[in-house]
Chains A and B, each alone.
Chain A
Amino acid sequence: MSADASGLKPAVIVAEKLVQTISSGGEQIAILDGLSLSIAAGETVAIVGASGSGKTTLLSLLAGLDSPTSGSIMLAGQPLSSLDEDGRAALRAGRVGFVFQSFQLLAGLTALENVMLPAELAGRADAEKLARDTLAKVGLEARTGHYPYQLSGGEQQRVAIARAFAAQPEILFADEPTGNLDAATGTKIVDLLFQLNRDRGATLVLVTHDMTLAARCGRVLRLNAGRFDD
């Protein structure tokens, strides 16, 4: 079973026959059960499904954070299986952005330093300028020197979004980006996410429970027991 991009743009993410099993109490449990997909550049895709359906596992495999039990993944034209952990990290640096449910800001760094981080890791000399510009875009130019604990939940997620976009990535992965926010703030954050994505022309893959959010994406993939529903 596969989900295909409909446009003519080249695919930036291609997964073939992905299987991910874990052993639990001596038993092998399949989290992902031989699914395939292809996502074109600039596409916005929502992956939805019940808790435990394998959404987050799929996301971590597509981003190269983990290796599948079997199957292959191409990310930005590179087969992930040919890369070791450092190689996959180098591939992500500057080309892949992330937004997490729990923000995942480094407590020891200011908002600016957090946002600079991916660009710095990608070796960009203009990391600070990029970070300041992006923080201005999310409306936090006045809070650059603040530490995460000095920011509200919504502000923290805006910093996280700025961080995800600052290095101008080709692909953005978002895991329940509104999961830790109230409805009003969540809506604002989603608007911001889509607006930035439009401006930058990045590919967006997001995992969510929220069907309203999923509906804003160009394509919705439903995961059920490790497979896509038709």
Chain B
Amino acid sequence: MTERRPSALRFAFLRLRRGWTSGELRVLVLALAIAAAAAIAVGLFTDRVRLALESGAGEQLGADAVISGRDPLPDAQMTALRETGLRIVSVTSFPSVVARVDGEETQLATIKGVDAGYPLRGKLLLAREPFGATEIAPPQPALGEVWVDLRLWTTLGLSLGSKLQVGTSELEVTRIVAEEPGRSGGFGDLAPNLIVNAAALPATGLLGPGSRLQISLQLGGTRAQLATAEAIELPPGFRYTTPENAQPQVRNSMDRARSFLNIAVLATILLSAAAVALSARQYSQRLRDEVALLKVLGARRAFIRRVLVLQVLLLGLIAGGLGAAVGVGGQAVLANLAAPVLKIVLPPPGWLPLPAVLGLVLLMLAGFALPPVLASVESAPVRVFQRAADRESRGIWGIAAAVVAIAALLWLQAGSLKLASFVFGGALLTAGVLALFAWLLVRGLAGIRSRGGIAWRFGLGNIARRKAAAVAQIVALGIALMALLLVTVVRQDLLATWQGKLPLDTPNQFLIGILPDQVAPLQAFFKARGVAELKPQPMVRARLSALRGTEVNAESFEDPETRRWINREFNLSWTSSFGDDNEFVEGKPWGGEARGKPWLAVDDYAVERLKLKLGDTLTLDLAGTPITLEVRAVRKIKWDSFKPNFFLVTPPGVLDADGLNPPLQWIASFYLPREQRGLLRELIREFPNVTALDLDAALNQVRGIVDRIVGALEFIFLFTLLAGLVVMMAVIEGSRADRVRETGVLRALGASRRVIRQGLIAEYAVLGGLAGAVAAFAAQALAWALAVGVLELPYGPRPLLWLIGTLAGCAIVTLAGWFSLRKMLNTSPRTVLAGGAA
């Protein structure tokens, strides 16, 4: 007779092979897989974006480095730059409205005038038809030609040879830009693009004062040359950009999107963890008999422990694999949703997030599954005779493991302690409030229980009898449904409320770059066409040089947003009559009497950034002339009036005083009905330098972007809903043996299958309805807080939301309950007599 150690792994396999059919293990694996899938989907997707940003950054910038500003680089610096020996290609870009010469439609576009050799890095690919074969572009477009991107091509209905009105020039469309480096500017890059020869720009008449030029010098060369260039001291307003610090918008937007997605993933993980803990506990109860028997047959504790740990690890592997498969598919959905927004080509998914997700699965197992499962090792062998012989222990360790695991999961997934504690606190608070509400509702059921048939009483009786389980299910499902309601119904509702609040004639067009001598002709132009009375406002640019008598620059401030603001030029205006979209918080509005007084009415944004109070002085550099102004009033501006407004406003006769000649332009907004869009074409012809911004189109574009991000969020919240349903299934599994026995008794007593089925439906319909109502209540409360507290919108009860929430909860939960328990309906009355469980 040879001896060998019994194989724990073999036994773990054996156990799983059939044990797999036990409901609680399936629920456990499902819960882990859902958490893993959500984490992998978001992990892989954000990793792809990160890779895209890092690997292709040089190409996306179109150069090794770029110096950009609103003016041409002064001669001194230009000479120094040339001396470095770097290759330099200049790109001048600015927004302007363009139109097809033979059409009605107009479109705001970014016009790019390029030198020969554009771009320095990466490839500019052109096509002759949308999505057609591409070719590498010649050094620059010929004079009289224009290359347009696909969006402009589509919006204006262009074809090869179409004539495009660009300012006063008519240019021929010769190619479509299929791919362009540096055109991946992120969420902010809204307008379509067209490329012309830089030498063609002066003839368009668009380069006059007031045009919003952005002049970029693309640099290409060796590291040493670039280092020399970087050392050149640039005048204020110029920026040296390298691939590393490029695309802050994409990075910022991604960071923000990742935070949102991570919150959704965290909610999914927390719910899944609850399901794992519940099902592991049930599994552990069932294991106790088996462990006792194994001990009777001679198994030692170490062996049993090994078997159980291996078993749990095997389950983790199965769940991880399942989750990975679904997650990889999920990240493709996210990438598809986000691709049009990001405008970058994503590399294929890498492997980096997979170990992290394996860690997540192991952590969930270690924190929520192993402690209860291992507790069964303590089961006494005498349990084969007496069930009461159990020793309960590990309670404290189990709780400690769960708390540590929750903390670690939150930290792992959120990446920041602050976000993690915020989410955890929020989750606890939400769960607490929902639990209280759910408990009240469940208690309230007692009143309606006696009304109705036997099935109804039986179903509601089940809820009343398992109050704690019912509350747990309502909370778990309520959280998931609430998340979904928030991103779908409530978001649309808030948007509609906000839009409904805007008057019908809210301006939808902005005119910028109006020259002083164009103000009167422009007003006459509008009057002649009976559109609207145009009230342009003057605008000058100035730079802050001293605050409260002390010289300041960007470095004087800690706050990065203030630094950015100071680095740009301030836009100032003057007026003697403030509109009703200006609410005076401190000080009073002035009238004509204030003319020439060095006063300043500031917006609360400026107050926050510069910590201003009444009486403070600001010294501004107005085209070389310093001018000191005193803060006399603080205003709160309603920006959604869509009228031109300024952070800093003076009385008339200050900025336009004799002797001061700052570059001046006027801006205006007006409402243009859809059917009168043709007017914009006439406008470009007569005032080519004036840029019309179509707010409707811009808003639609922003909305499109938001929809995409929300779509991604909705997608991840589906996993949250699944996790909520898995919690419900875990609770169902916990009561399955009881239910089977009860069903057997009922059947033995003569209840028909139909009555039992109706009872089941009644129970889950009510449970789901309550979860939906709780979710709607919570979503409504959050929406109300958001509307009244943040958006300042009137917001009342929304009966429709309650109805949608309740009905959705009802339908989803009834289906899931039915799915879980349908087999139970077939319980034969014999099972009761046989004393067994199916």
On whether the two chains bind one another, the answer is yes
Of B1, B297, B386, the contact of A117 (CB 8 Å cutoff): B297
Say whether A60 contacts B298, CB under 8 Å: no
Q: Which of A97-135 contact B (CB under 8 A)?
A: 98, 100, 104, 106-109, 113, 117-118, 120-126
Of B2, B3, B300, B382, the contact of A65 (CB 8 Å cutoff): B382
Identify the closest chain A residue to B20 (Cβ): A108
With both chains docked as a complex, state the minimum distance between the C-beta of B7 and any C-beta of chain A, in angstroms.
8
Of B4, B11, B298, the contact of A92 (CB 8 Å cutoff): B298
- Alpha-carbon distance A175/B297, docked complex (angstroms): 14
- Alpha-carbon distance A65/B385, docked complex (angstroms): 10
Q: Which of B783-815 contact A (CB under 8 A)?
A: none
- Alpha-carbon distance A96/B299, docked complex (angstroms): 12
Say whether B300 contacts A56, CB under 8 Å: no
Of A86, A106, A118, A126, the contact of B300 (CB 8 Å cutoff): A86
Say whether B5 contacts A123, CB under 8 Å: yes
Q: Chain B 2-15, CB within 8 Å of chain A: the 1/0 string? A: 11111100010011
Chain B residue numbers with a CB within 8 Å of A123 are: 3-6
Q: Does B643 count as interface, using CB distance less than 8 angstroms?
A: no
Chain A residue numbers with a CB within 8 Å of B294 are: 117, 121
With both chains docked as a complex, state the minimum distance between the C-beta of A92 and any C-beta of chain B, in angstroms.
4
- Alpha-carbon distance A108/B6, docked complex (angstroms): 18
Say whether A93 contacts B298, CB under 8 Å: yes
Chain B residue numbers with a CB within 8 Å of A65 are: 295-296, 380-382, 384-385
- Alpha-carbon distance A73/B17, docked complex (angstroms): 40
Q: Does A194 count as interface, using CB distance less than 8 angstroms?
A: no
With both chains docked as a complex, state the minimum distance between the C-beta of B17 and any C-beta of chain A, in angstroms.
7
Chain B residue numbers with a CB within 8 Å of A118 are: 297-298
Q: Which of A170-215 contact B (CB under 8 A)?
A: 175
Of B299, B302, B380, the contact of A121 (CB 8 Å cutoff): B299
Say whether B290 contacts A106, CB under 8 Å: yes
Q: Which of A30-85 contact B (CB under 8 A)?
A: 56-57, 59-60, 63, 65-66, 85
Say whether A89 contacts B298, CB under 8 Å: yes
Say whether B381 contacts A125, CB under 8 Å: no
Q: Does B136 count as interface, using CB distance less than 8 angstroms?
A: no
Chain A residue numbers with a CB within 8 Å of B381 are: 60, 65-66, 85, 89
Chain A residue numbers with a CB within 8 Å of B1 are: 124-126
Q: Does B588 count as interface, using CB distance less than 8 angstroms?
A: no
- Alpha-carbon distance A94/B300, docked complex (angstroms): 13
Of B18, B293, B300, B301, the contact of A147 (CB 8 Å cutoff): B18
Q: Does B19 count as interface, using CB distance less than 8 angstroms?
A: yes
Identify the closest chain B residue to A92 (Cβ): B298
Contact A113-B14, Cβ < 8 Å, known A89-B300, A123-B6: yes
- Alpha-carbon distance A113/B13, docked complex (angstroms): 12
Q: Does B389 count as interface, using CB distance less than 8 angstroms?
A: yes
Say whether B6 contacts A106, CB under 8 Å: no
Say whether A104 contacts B3, CB under 8 Å: no
With both chains docked as a complex, state the minimum distance between the C-beta of A114 and any C-beta of chain B, in angstroms.
10
With both chains docked as a complex, state the minimum distance between the C-beta of A57 and any C-beta of chain B, in angstroms.
8
Chain B residue numbers with a CB within 8 Å of A57 are: 385
Q: Chain A 153-173, CB within 8 Å of chain B: the 1/0 string? A: 000000000010000000000
Q: Chain A 10-32, CB within 8 Å of chain B: the 1/0 string? A: 00000000000000000000000
With both chains docked as a complex, state the minimum distance between the C-beta of B831 and any C-beta of chain A, in angstroms.
12
- Alpha-carbon distance A89/B18, docked complex (angstroms): 26
Say whether B293 contacts A121, CB under 8 Å: no
Chain A residue numbers with a CB within 8 Å of B2 are: 124-126
- Alpha-carbon distance A107/B289, docked complex (angstroms): 11
| Size of the chain B interface, CB-CB below 8 angstroms | 32
Say whether B385 contacts A60, CB under 8 Å: yes
Chain B residue numbers with a CB within 8 Å of A89 are: 295, 298-301, 381
- Alpha-carbon distance A123/B3, docked complex (angstroms): 5
- Alpha-carbon distance A126/B2, docked complex (angstroms): 7
With both chains docked as a complex, state the minimum distance between the C-beta of B490 and any C-beta of chain A, in angstroms.
47
- Alpha-carbon distance A120/B7, docked complex (angstroms): 8
Q: Does A136 count as interface, using CB distance less than 8 angstroms?
A: no
Identify the closest chain B residue to A108 (Cβ): B18
Q: Does A90 count as interface, using CB distance less than 8 angstroms?
A: yes
Of B11, B17, B19, B380, the contact of A66 (CB 8 Å cutoff): B380
Say whether A85 contacts B298, CB under 8 Å: no
Of A56, A86, A107, A121, the contact of B297 (CB 8 Å cutoff): A121
Contact A108-B295, Cβ < 8 Å, known A125-B2, A126-B2: no
Q: Chain B 374-403, CB within 8 Å of chain A: the 1/0 string? A: 000000111011100100000000000000
Chain B residue numbers with a CB within 8 Å of A120 are: 6-7, 11
Chain B residue numbers with a CB within 8 Å of A63 are: 296
Chain B residue numbers with a CB within 8 Å of A94 are: 298
- Alpha-carbon distance A123/B389, docked complex (angstroms): 28
- Alpha-carbon distance A45/B5, docked complex (angstroms): 33
Identify the closest chain A residue to B295 (Cβ): A89
- Alpha-carbon distance A63/B297, docked complex (angstroms): 11
Say whether A98 contacts B297, CB under 8 Å: yes
Q: Which of B593-637 contact A (CB under 8 A)?
A: none
With both chains docked as a complex, state the minimum distance between the C-beta of B11 and any C-beta of chain A, in angstroms.
8
Chain B residue numbers with a CB within 8 Å of A92 are: 296-298
Say whether A108 contacts B389, CB under 8 Å: no
- Alpha-carbon distance A117/B10, docked complex (angstroms): 11
- Alpha-carbon distance A86/B299, docked complex (angstroms): 8
Of A56, A124, A126, the contact of B385 (CB 8 Å cutoff): A56
Say whether B384 contacts A104, CB under 8 Å: yes
- Alpha-carbon distance A65/B389, docked complex (angstroms): 11
Chain B residue numbers with a CB within 8 Å of A59 are: 385
- Alpha-carbon distance A120/B294, docked complex (angstroms): 11
Chain A residue numbers with a CB within 8 Å of B293 are: 104, 106
- Alpha-carbon distance A126/B293, docked complex (angstroms): 22
- Alpha-carbon distance A126/B783, docked complex (angstroms): 70
Chain B residue numbers with a CB within 8 Å of A121 are: 6, 294, 297-299, 303
With both chains docked as a complex, state the minimum distance between the C-beta of A204 and any C-beta of chain B, in angstroms.
17
Contact A90-B300, Cβ < 8 Å, known A66-B380, A107-B18, A123-B6: yes
Residue in A65, A113, A122, A123 whose Cβ sees the most chain B Cβ within 10 Å: A65
- Alpha-carbon distance A92/B7, docked complex (angstroms): 18
Residue in B5, B380, B384 whose Cβ sees the most chain A Cβ within 10 Å: B384
Identify the closest chain A residue to B5 (Cβ): A123
Chain B residue numbers with a CB within 8 Å of A175 are: 385
Chain A residue numbers with a CB within 8 Å of B3 are: 123-125
Identify the closest chain A residue to B293 (Cβ): A104
With both chains docked as a complex, state the minimum distance between the C-beta of A46 and any C-beta of chain B, in angstroms.
18
Chain A residue numbers with a CB within 8 Å of B297 are: 92-93, 98, 117-118, 121, 163
14 residue pairs from A and B, CB less than 8 Å apart: A56-B386, A59-B385, A93-B297, A98-B296, A107-B18, A108-B15, A120-B6, A120-B11, A121-B298, A121-B299, A124-B2, A125-B4, A126-B2, A163-B297
- Residues of A bordering B, CB below 8 Å: 56-57, 59-60, 63, 65-66, 85-86, 89-94, 96, 98, 100, 104, 106-109, 113, 117-118, 120-126, 147, 163, 175
In the A-B complex, the 5 residue pairs with the closest CB atoms: A93-B298, A108-B18, A125-B2, A66-B382, A65-B381
- Please name 14 further chain A to chain B contacts, defined as beta carbons within 8 Å, in addition to the given A63-B296, A65-B295, A121-B297, sorted by A numbering: A56-B385, A56-B386, A57-B385, A65-B381, A65-B385, A89-B299, A92-B296, A93-B298, A109-B14, A120-B6, A121-B6, A121-B298, A122-B298, A124-B3
